[in-house]
Chains A and B, each alone.
Chain A
């Protein structure tokens, strides 16, 4: 048992204080990073509640329900910011990355405190897999929003469709990682491949995604 709220406070306080001394895009990034960590904590609460209500068990909840909850929670601040402040495309991408990075960082912190950080290989794999996965899924979502906005088709089905795409990507990762062996190795490679794919896409279609 870990006290996730205490961990969040411990990590967040220096970052909150740093907000007083920084300006511009860096300030936005740090604020979104903090928001990502907070969103992670709320997602954990909701996941725990769903586990209790459905009686699916911790493992099945994390495989089947967590992707839905986590992606939905990550979407909220992004959508809120997008609809209310209509930011520039570059700012939106930066915020999406920060939310994803904050989420992944806090999740990794809690995971390492629970399971230990003795193996450097495992810690590196965890960082490269889960860390990249949370960033890639929300980054892809932000890219989708930017494309939809540019093509003037930003609508409810577009938002829900994009969100569902992020959810199924996350769900596939969670399913593959749940079984040891070849499937876990594929799961670890999946976020990196998706990141490479997104990078290639941004190179090939710069005017659509820049």
Chain B
């Protein structure tokens, strides 16, 4: 059994626990739309993960002719995006939403360049883009990020895209350092966002901003996952795994506050 399967099993187990926890939260009588959306999103990613595991065990070493597990991921992004339901927030954050859409488009172009799977990458990008746009609007609306953090993201995202694009163009000896730089940037921002969300959860940050912070940490962990391979991918998967309990705790905190 390879490490990816082991980590996916761990991911599946933790998702199951988060799903049970979310159901119990619903059972307690606190029926926020956000919690219901989150429960369905967790169910989607849980099924997607189970599909991936089943495929890897039943048909090892073969490429999926059509990655049906990605449907579960699209569902998760759409439902998580809808869970933020900041439709009232979007008009107040036009610039942020536009930047999120632009960043998603650049990501989709890179995915296509790496995999060559046009249709799947565009559809994944559409769902992920919706999630990122809603998240950006929600962060702005709740003022979860201070100005310096927006600036940091504003610099990190274009630098990351430029560096990833440059890897295609530069001569061979330059590829490795650039690749290393991208990984450093990806994991540094992921660590920053996760620590921030964790501290907010622990120190009793504002209940309205805890949810977007935790969701932002997950969004970046996903970006890191999609831009990584090998051990880096497994580490990013581990980060994404940690983000789910964090999102659940953030939701619970918000529900309790309301």
Indicate if the CB atoms of B40 and A162 lie closer than 8 Å: yes
Q: Complex Cα distance A8/B71, Å?
A: 31
B14 → A minimal CB distance (Å)? 19
B64 within 8 A of A: yes
- Report Cα–Cα, A55/B69, bound state, in Å: 21
On whether the beta carbons of B40 and A64 are closer than 8 Å, the reply is: no
Stretch in B47-55, B142-150, B162-170, B214-222 with 4+ CB within 8 Å of A: B47-55
Q: Does B125 touch A at the CB level, under 8 Å?
A: no
- Which residue of chain B is the closest to A175 with respect to CB atoms? B54
Of the 9-residue stretches B74-82, B92-100, B178-186, which lies at the interface with chain A? Answer: B74-82
Shortest Cβ distance from A16 into chain B, in angstroms?
35
A contacts with B, residue count (CB < 8 A): 36
CA distance A175 to B33 in the complex (A): 32
Q: Which residues on B sit within 8 Å (CB–CB) of A164? A: 44, 71-72, 74-75, 78
Q: CB of B196 within 8 A of chain A?
A: no
Whether A208 sits at the interface, judged by CB under 8 Å, is yes
A54 to B58, alpha carbons, bound, how many Å? 23
Q: Mark A162-184, 1 if CB is under 8 A from B, else 0.
A: 11110111011001101100010
- A171 with B68, Cβ < 8 A, contacts A165-B44, A179-B58 known: yes
Chain A residues whose C-beta falls within 8 Å of the C-beta of B82 in the assembled complex: 153, 155, 157-158, 161
With known contacts A161-B79, A167-B71, A204–B27 Cβ distance under 8 A: yes
| SS of A interface (majority) | helix
Q: Which of A160, A164, A167 gathers the greatest number of chain B CB atoms within 10 Å? A: A164
Does B66 belong to the interface (CB within 8 Å)?
yes
Question: A152 touches which one: B33, B47, B65, B81 (CB < 8 A)?
Answer: B33
- A171 / chain B contacts, CB cutoff of 8 Å: 51, 68-69, 71
In the bound assembly, the distance between CA atoms of A111 and B66 in angstroms comes to 24
Given A153-B82, A171-B71, A208-B31, is A165 in contact with B51 using a C-beta cutoff of 8 Å?
no
B interface, by DSSP: helix, strand, loop or mixed? helix
Query: Quick check: A168 and B58 within 8 Å, CB to CB?
Result: no
| Residue among A65, A165, A178, A205 making CB contact with B40, cutoff 8 Å | A165
Whole-angstrom CA separation of A200 from B82 in the bound complex: 26
Q: What A residues does B242 contact at CB under 8 A?
A: none
Could you tell me the distance in whole angstroms from the C-beta of B68 to the nearest C-beta in chain A? 4
The reply to whether A60 and B72 contact each other, CB–CB distance below 8 Å, is no
The answer to whether B72 touches A165 (Cβ under 8 A) is yes
Judge if B26 is at the interface, Cβ distance under 8 Å. yes
A residues less than 8 Å from B81 (CB atoms): 157
Measured CA separation A201–B19 after assembly (Å): 13
A165 CA / B40 CA spacing, docked (Å): 8
Q: Indicate whether A64 sits within 8 Å of B47 (C-beta atoms), given known contacts A151-B36, A160-B75, A161-B41.
A: no
> Are B69 and A205 within 8 A (Cβ)?
no
Nearest residue (CB) in A for B83 is: A153
Does A33 lie at the interface of the complex (its beta carbon under 8 Å from any beta carbon of B)?
no
Nearest chain B CB to A136's CB is how many angstroms away? 13
Select which of A158, A175, A201, A205 is within 8 A of B68 by beta carbon: A175
Q: Counting CB contacts under 8 A, is B37 at the interface?
A: yes
Contact between chains at A168 and B48 (CB < 8 Å): yes
Chain A neighbourhood of B240, CB < 8 A? none
The 8 closest A-B pairs by CB, nearest first: A164-B75, A168-B72, A171-B68, A151-B33, A161-B79, A64-B66, A161-B78, A157-B78
Q: A64 touching B78 by the CB < 8 A rule?
A: no
- Interface membership of B252, Cβ < 8 A: no
A160-B75, A208-B31 as given contacts; A64 in contact with B64, CB under 8 Å: yes
A151-B68 in contact (CB<8A):
no
- Taken together as a complex, chains A and B put the C-alpha atoms of A144 and B37 apart, in Å, by 9
Query: In the complex, A89→B223 CA distance in Å?
Result: 39
Given the interface contacts A56-B65, A158-B82, does A153 sit within 8 Å of B47 by beta carbon?
Answer: no
Report the separation of the CA atoms of residues A164 and B74 in the bound assembly, to the nearest whole angstrom.
7
Residues of A within 8 A of B41 (CB): 161
Contacts of B23 in A (CB 8 A): 201, 204
Contacts of A165 in B (CB 8 A): 40, 43-44, 47, 72, 75
Question: Which A residues lie within 8 Å of B44 (CB)?
Answer: 161, 164-165, 168
B54 and A64 within 8 A (CB): no
